Amino acid sequence: MTPQIDPILRAYGCTEAVAAGLPDGALPARVLRHDRSSLAVICADGRRSLPTPVRGPEPTVGDWLAVRPPPGGGWDGARVEAVLPRRSLLRRASADGTGQQALAANVDVVLIVCGADRPLSAGRVQRAATQAWDADADPVLVLTKARAPGAADLDVPRIELEVPGVLVTVTSVLEGMGLAEVRARIRGLTAVLVGESGAGKSTLANALLGRDEEATGSVRERDRKGRHTTSARHLHLLPGDGGVIIDTPGLRSLGLFADADAVDAGFGDIAELALSCRYRDCEHVAEPGCAVRAALDEGRLPEARYESWLRLQREVASAQLRADPSQARRAGKQLARLQRSVAGRKGP
């Protein structure tokens, strides 16, 4: 029998698969915000507050919960019984580098927000895209402030070459430029905004929501850096059939916590070349029959492109080594192999 889904919950992304995963007698709710000891959630009765569970995995914004109502019904005294299985999880390395921090759950699209009024870091975009692919989500680079004073000349074809596999959208909220394209790409889905402080995430979120839901701030003139106007991750319902968006605080660093396959997803050209290497475990340094090395030597693979791939692979191996001591031998060998790749490229 197909579970019946309340229209409110369906608007927030509830599916038959979510409803089917509920224990008997439990009610579904989605996490809108996590405030240390309490959770703001949306349920069929509207917005409610629940205590954070003391057992099991800690919920994060975007999670679906199984909530057990009290014997008399209602929500007073209701408790979180379980975090329902996640179909995706956007994560980064924890501050101490020994584990992971969940950023948002059940995400379909990651909007990587960068201001056109500051230099674009292709490495930062590649890192965020890798995290999106690790979460089985689609990365979209949103360039904001395209008409702002001091905005750099945007060479979109060049940017697309620097971050292949990432859709690029140019926006200017004041003129309404690019907003329809962003809405079309996230319609009916769960999207999360990531980027530095001052990049325009909250301004973009307000424009998509059609209301001033998130506080916005100015940037410093000398370096175009902004203050943290968003203090916590928060899920919002978009108007119409627009889906939901999760705004996040500005991230000064985006420590990579992913697997090697997620890195390769953003470097399909290198992964394809590696299929033609003579040896399956080729290190792409000096082995005979290395297709990657041949492409480098012949100029078919840009050196900067290879170095970006190598840097991300090293970061992934290093994070795995710190986070899981049981995998120390395997991760250590991978890291040592990548270190030899660096030495091999630099020469004696």
Q: CATH no. for residue 200?
A: 3.40.50.300
pLDDT value of residue 257: 67
**Dist. CA 143–CA 158, nearest whole Å:** 14
**Dist. CA 246–CA 110, nearest whole Å:** 10
Average pLDDT of span 278-289:
80
Q: CATH no. for residue 310?
A: 1.10.40.50
Q: CATH no. for residue 32?
A: 2.40.50.140
Q: Are 244 and 193 in contact (CB under 8 A)?
A: no
Is 156 domain-assigned? yes
Class of residue 60 by CB neighbours under 10 A (exposed 0-12, middle 13-18, buried 19+): buried
Q: How many domains does the chain have?
A: 3
Which residues contact residue 216 at a Cβ distance below 8 angstroms, ignoring those fewer than 6 apart?
202, 203, 206, 229
pLDDT value of residue 325: 56
pLDDT above 90 for 214: no
pLDDT above 70 for 167: yes
Is 115 domain-assigned? yes
Q: What is the three-class DSSP state of 334? A: helix
Residue 296's pLDDT band (cuts 50, 70, 90): confident
Name the residue among 10, 5, 9, 12 with its Cα closest to residue 237: 12
Average pLDDT of span 52-58:
87
Q: Does 219 lie in the same domain as 112?
A: yes
Is 1 domain-assigned? no
Average pLDDT of span 190-216:
86
pTM above 0.75, yes or no: yes
**Dist. CA 171–CA 181, nearest whole Å:** 9
* Sequence-ordered strand ranges (E) for 183-308: 189-194, 234-237, 243-247
pLDDT value of residue 96: 64
Name the token pair of 294. 């041949």
Task: For residue 3, give the DSSP letter.
Answer: P
Name the token pair of 14. 């509830």
pLDDT value of residue 2: 59
Q: Are 271 and 278 in contact (CB under 8 A)?
A: no
**Dist. CA 323–CA 143, nearest whole Å:** 33
Vertex 39, ends 231 and 187: CA angle to 5°? Answer: 70
Is 226 domain-assigned? yes
Average pLDDT of span 314-324:
67
Q: Does 166 lie in the same domain as 128?
A: yes
Average pLDDT of span 207-235:
63
Q: Does 136 lie in the same domain as 45?
A: no
Domain boundary among 189, 222, 247: 247
81-131 confidence digits (pLDDT tens): 999 999 999 988 776 666 778 899 999 999 999 998 888 888 889 889 989
**Dist. CA 142–CA 116, nearest whole Å:** 10
Q: Are 267 and 258 in contact (CB under 8 A)?
A: no
Window from 2-6, 191-195, 221-225, 281-285 with minimum mean pLDDT? 221-225
Window from 25-29, 78-82, 151-155, 241-245 with minimum mean pLDDT? 151-155
Q: Does 134 lie in the same domain as 100?
A: yes
**Dist. CA 309–CA 269, nearest whole Å:** 11
Other beta carbons less than 10 A from residue 131's beta carbon = 25
Share the mean pLDDT of the chain: 82
Q: Are 184 and 190 in contact (CB under 8 A)?
A: no
Q: What phi-psi label fits residue 63: left (phi over 0), alpha (psi between -120 and 50 degrees) or beta?
A: beta
The residue range of the domain holding 293 is 260-346
Q: Does 240 lie in the same domain as 158?
A: yes
pLDDT above 90 for 161: no
pLDDT value of residue 218: 47
142-160 confidence digits (pLDDT tens): 999 988 776 767 788 888 8
Name the residue among 277, 275, 299, 273 with its Cα closest to residue 286: 277
Q: Does 305 lie in the same domain as 157?
A: no
